[in-house]
């Protein structure tokens, strides 16, 4: 009898203690659920406000992002991209992801501000992924040819001028192709967010474009000229296509705001291509390329981009 009472008392104490623990766990669960709901609600409210772009910075700590040392990669591996950039790569077509569309031909008009003179001339531009370009410009009955073989810039019959190096940089390194090559090589990239408004947030009933913006720690190398450059890439949140690149260029001790604009995107041979590319410095256009014809084909070993064949 004594043992039975003792067991009963111990069982009653155990059940009472267990009930207190369960009650405590329930309270904790309710509190955690409430906190999570509040956090999600705050996030949704913040997202619905559509952030503006006026406070964006060009710089960030690239060392906080792990850089991967890899050999040169020919094609883009979709699975290695950030999730949203996978859809951005798909929006371009498949020429960066598989063989058969490496070489692109542009025929159009190139307008440049050289010194105080504005020159406009027909141009034939041959691009081969990754990082090769040949620019043939018709001026005064003569063909002026410059190019880049992936490592060195060159010019037929002369040395490249700084203006010509800027042109090569704009078309090779300030491009969506180069951005995705950088993803494969582990260049520091930080997504700042999606659906940024193209204003300071003060315009009522805003109906302009919205952007996904990425900070990109670029590495630029044209022969002996090498530098790191922090850039902002603006992809249209709806079309997923690149519309702007912004950065600040240090030239002889002077800081120059640079902006590259892409517009008139359309399909050519199943690939998305821009119709117009404009480079602005200090808000003024210094290069404008209007593309009237586009051709897409496979890589060719014809020496078109080799510096040794074109000096």
pLDDT of residue 51: 54
Contacts of 73-78 spanning 24+ positions with Cβ under 8 A: 73/181, 73/184, 73/185, 74/129, 74/130, 75/99, 76/180, 76/181, 76/183, 76/184, 77/184
**Where is average pLDDT lowest: 42-46, 132-136, 282-286?**
42-46
User: What's the whole-model pTM score?
Assistant: 0.78
Task: Give the percent of the chain with pLDDT over 90.
Answer: 63
pLDDT tens digit sequence for 75-117: 999 999 999 999 999 999 999 999 999 999 999 999 999 888 8
Task: Indicate the CATH number of 62-309 among 3.30.930.10, 2.50.20.10, 3.30.470.20, 1.10.540.10.
Answer: 2.50.20.10
**Where is average pLDDT lowest: 25-34, 106-115, 210-219, 228-237?**
25-34
> Does 145 score more than 70 pLDDT?
yes
Question: Rounded CA gap, 62 and 217, in Å?
Answer: 7
pLDDT greater at residue 66 or residue 216: 216
Domain boundaries, the chain: 1-49, 62-309
């Amino acid at each position: 009898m004594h043992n039975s009472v003792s067991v009963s008392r111990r069982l009653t104490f155990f059940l009472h203690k267990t009930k207190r623990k369960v009650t405590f766990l329930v309270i904790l669960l309710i509190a955690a659920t409430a906190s999570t709901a509040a956090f999600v609600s705050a996030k949704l409210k913040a997202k619905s406000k559509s952030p503006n772009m006026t406070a964006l910075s060009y710089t960030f700590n690239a060392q906080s992002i792990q850089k991967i040392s890899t050999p040169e990669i020919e094609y883009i591996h979709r699975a290695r991209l950030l999730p949203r950039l996978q859809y951005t790569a798909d929006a371009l077509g498949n020429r960066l992801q598989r063989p058969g569309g490496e070489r692109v031909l542009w025929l159009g008009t190139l307008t440049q501000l050289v010194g105080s003179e504005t020159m406009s001339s027909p141009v034939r531009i041959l691009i081969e992924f990754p990082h090769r370009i040949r620019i043939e410009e018709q001026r005064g009955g003569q063909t002026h040819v410059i190019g880049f073989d992936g490592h060195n810039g060159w010019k037929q019959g002369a040395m490249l001028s700084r203006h010509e190096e800027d042109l090569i940089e704009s078309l090779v390194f300030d491009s969506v192709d180069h951005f995705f090559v950088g993803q494969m090589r582990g260049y520091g990239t930080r997504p700042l967010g999606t659906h940024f408004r193209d204003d300071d947030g003060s315009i009522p009933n805003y109906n302009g474009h919205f952007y996904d913006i990425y900070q990109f720690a670029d590495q630029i190398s044209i022969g002996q000229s090498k530098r790191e450059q922090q850039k902002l890439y603006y992809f249209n949140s709806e079309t997923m296509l690149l519309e702007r690149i912004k950065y600040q260029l240090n030239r002889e001790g002077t800081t120059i705001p640079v902006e590259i604009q892409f517009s008139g995107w359309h399909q050519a041979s199943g690939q998305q291509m821009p119709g117009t590319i404009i480079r602005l410095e200090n808000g003024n256009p210094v290069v404008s390329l209007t593309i009237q014809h586009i051709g897409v084909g496979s890589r060719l070993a014809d020496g078109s981009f080799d510096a040794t064949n074109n000096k």
